[in-house]
Amino acid sequence: MRRKRITLPETVGNTDTKKSCCTSAGKAEKGCFVVYSSDPKRFLLPLQCLNNQIILELFEMAEEEFGSQSTGPLTLPCEAELIEYAITLIKQQVTRDIEKTLLTSIVSSFCSLSPNLQHQRTNHQIPICSF
């Protein structure tokens, strides 16, 4: 008996945006990297995301929070909801103004937390953007 492969339908749009960012619990594919949220949830992101200002700012925040000599997986200092929202914005290729608004919100909430509270789960309000 022959095995059938189940495939998902391809998304419509630019081939560059098809893989712009995704979440996954599977093995890291070639051309992708893995990050974890603070809650911890695993995210598989294509290398193209390394050019995005939102992702770069999250990396800078991670370096400030955990240091550059951190061992173990790359962990971003925010909850999965925020990373999922950022991924949605990246997929939609939003304008720089919307990216800047999200970054301002992320940085201000990150900076307003005391060092003791940064390691605790917090209920962040995420700005909503509709199209």
Q: pTM here? A: 0.60
129, 94 contact by CB (below 8 A): yes
CA distance 117 to 113: 6
Choose between 8 and 29: higher pLDDT.
29
- The three-state secondary structure class of 41 is coil
Decide if pLDDT at 20 tops 70: no
Mean pLDDT of 60-81: 82
**% of the chain residues with pLDDT over 90:** 4
